[in-house]
């Protein structure tokens, strides 16, 4: 689902707006955060970096998905975004299809406004290895409280 943008528009992510980040829907949210963190001299995995990473990713999730997470169309769009083909006529069918998919939640957010599909992993251990290597984690306390994120959440640490 592409979003049209006017030149010099600030990023719609509330966190990034605070740092005057311009909006380019083709740029992944994780990349934009890395630019802000370098500019602000936040050391990767420091307490400040982690707090701001979690805030940025939660804002992006809320902007793209979380605002209407009980809507069937949102569930269907999520299935499409992670590369699951088919016509799912209920949220239950969407949930069952998503429950068997191993994708990184941050990659889902990164790919949302592009034609890219996030990498799907054959196993939980492959997803865990990738997530640890790339440090692309989503705050589990936030994820557990959300209907959609709870389906994608995997115990990897």
Domain that holds residue 70: 14-152
CA distances from 23 to 65, 72, 156 (A): 18, 28, 32
Encode pLDDT of 8-54 as tens digits. Answer: 588 899 999 999 999 888 899 999 999 999 999 999 999 999 999 99
Checking if the pLDDT of 4 tops 80, the result is no
DSSP class of 88: -
Checking if the pLDDT of 98 tops 80, the result is yes
Encode pLDDT of 114-155 as tens digits. Answer: 889 999 999 999 999 999 999 999 988 888 888 888 889 898
- Residue 130 is assigned to a structural domain of this protein: yes
- Residue 8 is assigned to a structural domain of this protein: no
CB atoms within 10 A of CB 131: 21
- Residue 1 is assigned to a structural domain of this protein: no
Measure the CA–CA gap between 81 and 64, rounded to whole angstroms: 12
- Residue 4 is assigned to a structural domain of this protein: no
102 strand-pairing partners: 121
Structure tokens at 23: 């909006």
Please tell me the total count of domains within the chain: 1
Please give the model's pTM, rounded to 2 decimal places: 0.87
- Residue 7 is assigned to a structural domain of this protein: no
Q: What pLDDT is recorded for position 122?
A: 96
- Residue 128 is assigned to a structural domain of this protein: yes
- Residue 157 is assigned to a structural domain of this protein: no
Count of alpha carbons within 13 angstroms of residue 109, beta-carbon side: 27
- Residue 93 is assigned to a structural domain of this protein: yes
């Amino acid at each position: 689902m592409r979003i049209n943008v006017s030149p010099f528009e600030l990023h719609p992510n509330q966190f990034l707006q605070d740092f005057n980040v311009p909006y380019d829907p083709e740029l992944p949210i994780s990349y934009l955060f890395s630019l802000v963190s370098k500019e602000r001299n936040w050391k990767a995995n420091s307490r400040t970096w982690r707090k701001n990473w979690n805030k940025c990713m939660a804002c992006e999730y809320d902007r793209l998905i979380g605002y209407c997470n009980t809507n069937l169309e949102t569930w269907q769009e999520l299935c499409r975004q992670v590369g699951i083909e088919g016509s799912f006529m209920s949220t239950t069918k969407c949930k069952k299809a998503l429950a068997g998919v191993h994708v990184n939640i941050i990659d889902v957010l990164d790919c949302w406004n592009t034609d890219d599909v996030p990498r799907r992993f054959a196993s939980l251990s492959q997803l865990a290895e990738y997530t640890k290597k790339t440090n692309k984690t989503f705050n589990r306390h936030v994820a557990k409280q959300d209907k959609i994120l709870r389906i994608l959440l995997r115990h990897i640490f």
